[in-house]
Amino acid sequence: MAERAIRRFVVEAIASRRLEPGDKLPTERDLALRFSTGRNTVRRTLLALEAEGRIDRHVGRGTFVAAAGGPRGTPPRMPTVGLGASPGPDPAGSGLSQIARVASPLDLMELRLSLEPSIAALCVHRAGTADIERMWAIVAASRAAGDLRAFEDEDDALHRCMALATRNPLFVAVADLVTAVRGEARWGDLKQKTLSDALRLRHTAEHVAIVEAIARRDEAAARAAMEAHLRSVKAMMFGP
């Protein structure tokens, strides 16, 4: 959950103008200490925020709030509607939160099967080298996850990374909705009951197949690998 907390901290600081364009963010070390997590988690969160155009990172200088519009090649300050941002003065009462509370795990899987194979296919054409490197880093982190919650966080991060790589803010909004529903107790309880160590290994192998297809620019394979993965998750949770 540290990744979500860091993201929320940065996005809300920018939205409230506690951090203005050009202001420097705390160092990776300071953020790791503040949120009791590793620097790899901090770095992965900052990379995702950079991909959205919210921040600029400069080797040797630090991380800064991006100017309006964000860096070239990324969506201009796309509004994030998920757990990483405050959609209004009362986030708990937002439409997103209300949807997350009423949507069932099965509702979520139907949505994901409808959209995420297309997201993977689009990644084949739009993901850059840095995007693919981030995907591989997240896959590696998921392998090393010590418990279900950590594995779920990495799983969520990978699918969101793919949405970001499409450079389409609507797909990122869908990813934020997926994250919100996955944060509800019903999803966590069901995963806790069904996700064994063997199935974690299987899902990791499925993630590898998706990223490999994206990396070799094979649209059909990326679409098929994502659909196979999601059908595997659905079967695990609800039966064939």
Residue type for position 206:
E
Length of the chain: 240
Map out the domains of the chain as residue ranges.
1-77, 92-240
Q: What is the pLDDT of residue 96?
A: 65
Q: What is the per-residue pLDDT for 217?
A: 97
Q: Which amino acid is at 192?
A: Q
Residue 152's pLDDT is 85
Write the CA distances from 176 to 14, 57, 81, 111, 233, integer angstroms: 18, 23, 6, 13, 19
∠ CA 165-128-68, nearest 5°, is 60
Q: With beta carbons less than 8 A apart as the criterion, state whether 80 and 74 touch.
A: no
Domain 92-240 maps to which CATH number in 1.20.120.530, 3.40.30.10, 2.60.40.10, 3.10.180.10? Answer: 1.20.120.530
Residue type, 113: L
Task: Give pLDDT, residue 59.
Answer: 64
Q: Do domains 1-77 and 92-240 have the same CATH topology?
A: no
- For the chain, 240 residues long, give each residue's pLDDT as a single digit of tens: 788 889 889 988 888 888 888 889 999 888 988 888 888 888 888 888 887 788 887 766 789 898 753 433 333 333 333 323 333 333 333 466 678 788 888 999 999 999 999 999 999 999 999 889 999 999 999 999 888 888 888 898 899 999 989 988 889 888 888 888 887 778 878 887 888 888 889 999 999 999 999 999 999 999 999 999 999 999 988 887
Question: What pLDDT score was predicted for residue 78?
Answer: 38
Q: What is the spatial distance between Cα 56 and Cα 67, in angstroms, rounded to a whole number?
A: 9
Architecture of domain 1-77: Orthogonal Bundle (1.10)
Yes or no: say if 202 and 190 are a contact pair by the CB < 8 Å rule.
Answer: no
